[in-house]
Amino acid sequence: MSQYVLRIGEALNFVLENACAAQPEQFAGYCGNIEFWYSEYAHLEALVEGYEDRLDRMRDARQRFMDEADRSPQNKDEFGELYQTPRPTTTKSQRKDVLINAKDNLKRFLNRGRGLGCIDIELYDTIMEKLEPTSERHRAL
């Protein structure tokens, strides 16, 4: 499950980085879908933020199945841990890092789009406010 989160984030970062490096006329095409790129970021954010809850639900569902089916786990590793037990395969910092990179790449995308006139100011402000509410931006100053 956590590899999924990283792969989604890496794919989004790859596209945003390539878009920002593209020629202006190609970049303008990416800007035509800015709402989609923001929604992909919001999806990644939901994946990262909801990770622990989903992992807990997986553990609970597995345990409920084991209890209801009257099964006892057999396959253990050298440390006595169950092979099939849901567990993280990435660290919290890895998941946060991929999200931070996506946020930075999306801001770079928005700034380039605004600078080229491909993204209007209202849309730019709306998305930037979602990425970094005004109160957070003022604290940073």
Identify the sign of the CA torsion 124, 38, 48, 107.
Answer: negative
What 3 state SS string does 68-131 have? HCCCCCCCECCCCCECCCCCCCCCHHHHHHHHHHHHHHHHHHHHHHHHHCCCCHHHHHHHHHHH
Q: What's the whole-number mean pLDDT along residues 38-61?
A: 95
Please give the tally of structural domains in the chain. 1
Q: Which two tokens stand for residue 70?
A: 């009257």
Q: What pLDDT score does 83 carry?
A: 62
One-letter identity of residue 134: T
Helix axes 24-31, 2-21, angle to 10 degrees: 130
pLDDT tens track for 117-127: 999 999 999 99
pLDDT tens track for 88-123: 889 999 999 999 999 999 999 999 999 999 999 999
The boundaries of the domain holding residue 107 are: 2-140
Q: What's the whole-number mean pLDDT along residues 4-15?
A: 97
Confidence check: pLDDT of 80 > 90: no
Q: How far apart are CA 34 and CA 64, in angstroms?
A: 43
Q: What pLDDT score does 89 carry?
A: 86
Reported pTM? 0.84
